[in-house]
Structure 1
Amino acid sequence: MAAGISLGLVILLIGFPLIAAGAVILGVAAAGVALARPSAPVLGGAELAVGPDYALVGSALGLLKEPAALTSPEGSLLIANAAYRERFGATKQPLLLATDDDGREALAVARNMAWRDGGGCVAGVATSSGTCPVEVERVGSTGELLLWRFPQPTAAVDPLSVAVRQAQGLEGERLSAAGVLAAVVDNEGVVLGANRLFFGRAMEGEQRREAIFAHLVQRAGDQQVRLTIEGEHAQPLRLVHLPLDGVPESGAGMFILFENQDGPTNQSTNLQALLDVLPVGLALVDRDGRFLTMNQAFSQAAGVKGNSLPVYPGDLVVKEDKAAVADAVRRNARGPAMSGDLAVRLSRQASEPVALTIAGLRGLGEASVLLLLKDNSEEAKLKRQVAQATKMQVVGQLAGGVAHDFNNILTAIIGHCDLMLMRHTPGDSDYDDIQQIKSNSNRAAGLTRQLLAFSRQQTLRPQVVQLPDVVSEVSHLLKRLLGETVELVVKHGRNLGPVRADPGQLEQVIINLAVNARDAMEGKGRGTLTIQTYSVKANQVAELGSDILPVDDYTALSVTDTGCGIAPSVLGKIFEPFFTTKEVGKGTGLGLSTVYGIVKQSGGFIFADSKVGDGTRFVIYLPVHHEEESAAKSRQTSKDKESELWGSGTVLLVEDEPMVRAVAERALTRHGYKVITAENGEGALEVLEGGEQIDLLISDVVMPGMDGPTMVAEARKSWPELKILFMSGYAEEQLRNSIDVDNVSFLPKPFSVQELAEAAKRTLTAK
């Protein structure tokens, strides 16, 4: 108001009296509005908090159809909706609704969960008005109230509703295509639903509402009816009543009507057409227990070939199940109509039990029993594959653990051999013995690498190698694997370029291919396995006619056998994991998939060519490795200079295995380092906190208590520039995926003294 009056005076002085009066009026009006606005009550200079409006909350709860109530944290009832009062009473607290001690305890637990976590629930609590679920939620602006809800239990599935959906869905369309009318009727005879053909022929327009099935058909003889809409001269239809599971014995169920124009022959044809379009295996059996007909799905599931039907259902199952099947068929054929399931084993696949449903039929001529059989061969195959994969995973984990422990032992043996060789020169009496121990230890290390390869935890160590050298290393093992009936022929080409790959993995590739070839030649008497290496120049790649192989220089390795060959339908699947053509229990399906993985990891390509009866040929193309001469010389010079491995500084060595810790400490000390050791991660952190200047931390990855990565993560918080070298018997690739630590080096076990010194020097000098 003051601002309005001041503005009016200014404008009046300028010479605009009307505008000045308007400004004064606006100021007065603004003051009136401000004075009329309600203000929150104050107490001691602060506004009072407004409490919950229970009337508004009650109106909101009244919108819920399910019982709901609002209580204090202790469970005192504050407000409840009409559904709650009607069901439990107006004043009864939710905590007191249960009629037994278990229910009261469950309600108390749900209340405590809601108060602590924001929500809680009970699956079912027995109350005076029946068993019901309970949900509790912490609500309110400050979370000091509890909202209790009692949802209505889910209604059971109505078999008639399911049958209506089927009749009006895809199943009904298939029946219509086969010329079959289908309708679903309730206990009162009202048509609840039907397929398109029934609606089109038996009903029209308004008749679809509350139509009575008995009004839509007229009796025309034994098990025959006519459609009322078509008149008395219409062709009769055969009527079959199919009761539904879960529906009491009455007139309710599904009625199907078949054309019956040309007598039994046409009836049989229509019935067979109906059965063949159904996706489940169905067969009809007469009163004497003999097969009348079966659809294609049943024939496929039971393994029936051709058009020749077996005589009795018991002919399809193993000897032990014949009596049970025959007895069930006889009871359903002559007694009251009922149904049941039997777990049987089919003769074609006795190892996998299947469910055979046997149901009695009435009013379908000679057919008295209906058999239902599901083809679960694919399901059984998937189960076997999952079981095989699970078994291989468990075995792989076991193999990986064994390899890890062996790597620790071999690290100690190889390290002590290296330390002893520093004190013995060639010509000493013990020199050759030490060399033999080290050689055997290296062979054992090769075996552990194979265990890691089997468990898919191998550490790839690419080297520049010649394929003939790799073949020569593995030839003596191949001769023992192939046996006396297989002749091994090895041929090497000239001017072969070097390749860069892991020699141990290449040996595994050759062994796997040789073992598969041996198995393929078992039934043919004597056979020949030919291993050949040859050079493929870039200008020859185009002549191979392959769209996959890039133009480059390759060194090829071919493995050819004179076995039974591979069928064309199978040839495209041989590299898939767990795919095998061998009998159950004789093949894992991992051999060729492992070969494929190793070849692809090495940057190569593998192709298979086979003809049934004439053998198989696998060809592996590995790109030629081109290495600069200066780099090779520099690397050779660095290997020759042992003095370059000499270092300085303080190294903190963390290893839980005493034998590995001892050999690593001695090796690092001999190369000039000051070494402080710790048995676990906790001890290493104590050393770091003691104030000692640590230049390099060398730690095992897997240790009891605090493991290596956890210890390093804690150390990096205070010493972010600390250089880290991890050593472990597990695979580097696997560990790097699981270690969330940056800027670390890795040394796989087992390692020699020189390899440890090289890794320490490399980690210290890295930027």
Structure 2
Amino acid sequence: MRRRAEQDWQAGAAAMLAAWPEPAALLDRQGRLLAINEAGRALLAVALPTRPGDDIRAWFPLAEQPGFLAAIAHGSGRMPLTMSPPLAAPRVTEVVLQPLEQNALLLRLGAEAPQGREERLALLGRMAGGVAHDFNNLLAIVMGASAAAAAAADAMERGRELTAIDAAAERGAALVRQLLAFSRQQVLAPRILPLNDAVAAIGTLLPRLLGTAITLELALEEPGRLVLADPTQLDQVIINLVANARDAIQGSGKGGLIRLATGRRVVLGADSEDGLPPGRYASIIVEDDGPGIPPALMAKIFEPFFTTRIDQGGTGLGLATVQGIIAQSGGHILAESPPGGGTRFTILLPRQEMQAAEAPQARPPAAPATILLAEDEPALLRLASQALGLGGHTVLSAADGYTAIEMIEAGARPELLVSDVSMPGMDGVALARAARAICPGLPVLLLSGYAAAALGVDMAAEGWHFLAKPCHGEALREAVAAALAKPG
């Protein structure tokens, strides 16, 4: 029981740390690192210790370490400390230590001043209110349509209501994707794209967004380049930047010009002016002749929840979402606003080499197999089991990871493990490892609403398969067929 309690706590602590918006880490009472989130790794240089078990006193200069150790001994504290070299720009950071269960400490780096926290909380409250309003509307549609479907007199009327429910679910999923995108946990479906074709396609739709007073100029550099990106999310990035340019021009009370262009850039050294890593990039440029962005605001425009349009309903998620999508795609975004006015955003995506086109081949349905399905949400467990049953599979259902392992220990020998990642107690990752310890080589398919890259697991190295949630039954059956055909 004690071990299970510790596992439950560790799973909860890891989830909390991953979702924490600011740089943070978990420490033991000796100042050794237990875990650190992605924001913390981004703050620290690679030369600083970030592995579990490392003594993190090296993060701070010798002169400041005694105060830090005293705070650890006390179990809590707040103090300004200077982050050690080799950070690119060492700076004084407010460090906060908070006690947790299991004799651990939460270390927060770069905590904001009280006034800054209050402003962020106010913006977060506005955003939460807006999200709650949108979700309540979607739930009202689902509840109303489901009641109408239950009372429908014929199949056609019932079908209309089911279509409304499906559309509401898709809108809800899109809303969640926007929230995940700015935290760089969006589920992307990247593929090789001709950049000029992608930009030209969305360019035909943008005039409807701009109105008659604003001119859109499209400039596509030839020859075109290839990039690896999710086409839907790339459209979202461009639309967001063009909409911001439109709002800036309209705020000036006159018409204007927005230029959407493609190009290229080669960065030869890591010491480039913009701090870009070396590489060959394809670029998308969105620039306008509006009033520009004041220098005092330029450093804040990509911060989540920062907005200058609170009264107009701004949440501060737009540019943070854009940056999250671009970063998750392996790219970079630069912003410029010269003193004379106007703003330019440059998106840089790694260029891809030309590949011979392969005709898509339909995957044959998987042969019936015995599948162990673990899902802690009863309704999802039932629906997923039904979807797999329609594919001819025999499904062994488990309401959590512990139950799934008990079934294997009792003699069940599934041909595939399908598991949700986020489950209380033993999560999907721990379940997959425990199941493979008993059944070596067992194929694994993990399901999650987070991107695979956000789970902190190398799926390819583990030989596991991944499917993003939410998904339809057909997508689940296709993913199962892939996992059974190519175990990993």
Contact kept? 1:685, 1:715, Cα under 8 Å: yes
Question: What corresponds to 1:700 in structure 2?
Answer: 420
Distance 1:469 1:434, change over 3 A: farther
One-letter amino acid matched to 2:288 = D
- Whole-angstrom CA distance in 2 between matches of 1:654 and 1:584: 43
How far 1:683 moved relative to its partner?
A: 4.1
Instruction: Write the deviation string for residues 677-720 of structure 1: whole angstroms up to 9, x where unpaired.
Output: 23344543443244232121111233467654555565456445
- Whole-angstrom CA distance in 2 between matches of 1:563 and 1:467: 26
Distance 1:393 1:461, change over 3 A: farther
1:582 to 308, 313, 318: 308
Distance 1:468 1:523, change over 3 A: same
Distance 1:608 1:507, change over 3 A: same
1:604 to 331, 336, 352: 331
Q: Does 1:679 align with 2:399?
A: yes
Higher RCO (CA 8 Å, separation ≥ 6 residues):
2
Contact kept? 2:285, 2:345, Cα under 8 Å: yes
- Whole-angstrom CA distance in 2 between matches of 1:493 and 1:431: 48
SS of the aligned residue for 1:558 comes to strand
Question: What corresponds to 2:230 in structure 1?
Answer: 502
Q: Does 1:450 align with 2:171?
A: no
Contact kept? 1:514, 1:529, Cα under 8 Å: no
- Whole-angstrom CA distance in 2 between matches of 1:657 and 1:529: 51
Question: What corresponds to 1:48 in structure 2?
Answer: none
Q: Does 1:384 align with 2:115?
A: yes
- Whole-angstrom CA distance in 2 between matches of 1:574 and 1:510: 20
Contact kept? 1:385, 1:578, Cα under 8 Å: no
Instruction: Write the deviation string for residues 160-191 of structure 1: whole angstroms up to 9, x where unpaired.
Output: xxxxxxxxxxxxxxxxxxxxxxxxxxxxxxxx
Contact kept? 1:489, 1:531, Cα under 8 Å: yes
Question: What corresponds to 1:746 in structure 2?
Answer: 466
2:372 to 632, 648, 652: 652
SS of the aligned residue for 2:225 comes to coil
Question: What corresponds to 1:566 in structure 2?
Answer: 293
Instruction: Write the deviation string for residues 12-42 of structure 1: whole angstroms up to 9, x where unpaired.
Output: xxxxxxxxxxxxxxxxxxxxxxxxxxxxxxx
How far 1:526 moved relative to its partner?
A: 2.7
Contact kept? 2:416, 2:442, Cα under 8 Å: yes
Q: Does 1:640 align with 2:379?
A: no
Contact kept? 1:485, 1:525, Cα under 8 Å: no
Distance 1:578 1:534, change over 3 A: closer
How far 1:453 moved relative to its partner?
A: 1.8
How far 1:564 moved relative to its partner?
A: 0.8
Instruction: Write the deviation string for residues 367-411 of structure 1: whole angstroms up to 9, x where unpaired.
Output: xxxxxxxxxxxxxx93232234446667889969x99xx9xx99x
SS of the aligned residue for 1:640 comes to coil
How far 1:559 moved relative to its partner?
A: 1.2
Question: What corresponds to 2:345 in structure 1?
Answer: 618
Instruction: Write the deviation string for residues 428-485 of structure 1: whole angstroms up to 9, x where unpaired.
Output: xx99999999788656543431232245532233222244555467568856765665
- Whole-angstrom CA distance in 2 between matches of 1:463 and 1:396: 32
- Whole-angstrom CA distance in 1 between matches of 2:119 and 2:462: 37
Contact kept? 1:564, 1:612, Cα under 8 Å: no
Question: What corresponds to 2:456 in structure 1?
Answer: 736
- Whole-angstrom CA distance in 2 between matches of 1:474 and 1:441: 25
One-letter amino acid matched to 1:513 = L
SS of the aligned residue for 2:308 comes to coil
Bigger Rg over Cα: 1
Distance 1:678 1:574, change over 3 A: closer
Distance 1:444 1:611, change over 3 A: same
Instruction: Write the deviation string for residues 269-313 of structure 1: whole angstroms up to 9, x where unpaired.
Output: xxxxxxxxxxxxxxxxxxxxxxxxxxxxxxxxxxxxxxxxxxxxx
- Whole-angstrom CA distance in 2 between matches of 1:583 and 1:693: 58
- Whole-angstrom CA distance in 2 between matches of 1:431 and 1:641: 29
Distance 1:519 1:383, change over 3 A: farther
How far 1:754 moved relative to its partner?
A: 4.7
How far 1:727 moved relative to its partner?
A: 1.0
The TM-score with structure 2 as length reference comes to: 0.56
Distance 1:654 1:464, change over 3 A: same
SS of the aligned residue for 2:179 comes to helix
Contact kept? 2:184, 2:327, Cα under 8 Å: no
One-letter amino acid matched to 1:640 = Q
- Whole-angstrom CA distance in 1 between matches of 2:445 and 2:342: 50
SS of the aligned residue for 1:611 comes to coil
Distance 1:481 1:752, change over 3 A: same
- Whole-angstrom CA distance in 1 between matches of 2:167 and 2:426: 35
One-letter amino acid matched to 2:255 = G
1:527 to 252, 255, 266: 255
Contact kept? 2:282, 2:349, Cα under 8 Å: yes
Question: What corresponds to 1:459 in structure 2?
Answer: 187
Q: Does 1:557 align with 2:284?
A: yes
Contact kept? 2:258, 2:289, Cα under 8 Å: no
Deviates more, 1:518-527 or 1:389-398: 389-398
Q: What percentage of residue pairs aligned between the two structures are identical?
A: 38
Distance 1:511 1:640, change over 3 A: same
Contact kept? 1:396, 1:456, Cα under 8 Å: no
Distance 1:563 1:580, change over 3 A: farther
Contact kept? 1:555, 1:622, Cα under 8 Å: yes
How far 1:735 moved relative to its partner?
A: 3.0
Distance 1:565 1:620, change over 3 A: same
- Whole-angstrom CA distance in 2 between matches of 1:730 and 1:591: 19
Question: What corresponds to 2:479 in structure 1?
Answer: 759
Instruction: Write the deviation string for residues 254-282 of structure 1: whole angstroms up to 9, x where unpaired.
Output: xxxxxxxxxxxxxxxxxxxxxxxxxxxxx
Distance 1:614 1:496, change over 3 A: same
Question: What corresponds to 1:518 in structure 2?
Answer: 246
| Unpaired segments ≥5 residues, structure 2 | 1-111, 143-157
Contact kept? 1:517, 1:529, Cα under 8 Å: no
- Whole-angstrom CA distance in 1 between matches of 2:333 and 2:118: 29
- Whole-angstrom CA distance in 1 between matches of 2:307 and 2:477: 49
Question: What corresponds to 1:688 in structure 2?
Answer: 408
How far 1:749 moved relative to its partner?
A: 0.8
- Whole-angstrom CA distance in 1 between matches of 2:223 and 2:241: 25
SS of the aligned residue for 2:337 comes to strand
- Whole-angstrom CA distance in 1 between matches of 2:239 and 2:332: 17
- Whole-angstrom CA distance in 2 between matches of 1:712 and 1:435: 36
Aligned length: 356
Contact kept? 2:184, 2:325, Cα under 8 Å: no
- Whole-angstrom CA distance in 1 between matches of 2:369 and 2:188: 31
Contact kept? 2:183, 2:324, Cα under 8 Å: no
Question: What corresponds to 1:39 in structure 2?
Answer: none
- Whole-angstrom CA distance in 2 between matches of 1:665 and 1:742: 25
Distance 1:495 1:439, change over 3 A: farther
Q: 1:160-175 alignment to 2 at 5 Å?
A: none
- Whole-angstrom CA distance in 2 between matches of 1:470 and 1:701: 34
| Unpaired segments ≥5 residues, structure 1 | 1-380, 411-429
Distance 1:503 1:441, change over 3 A: farther
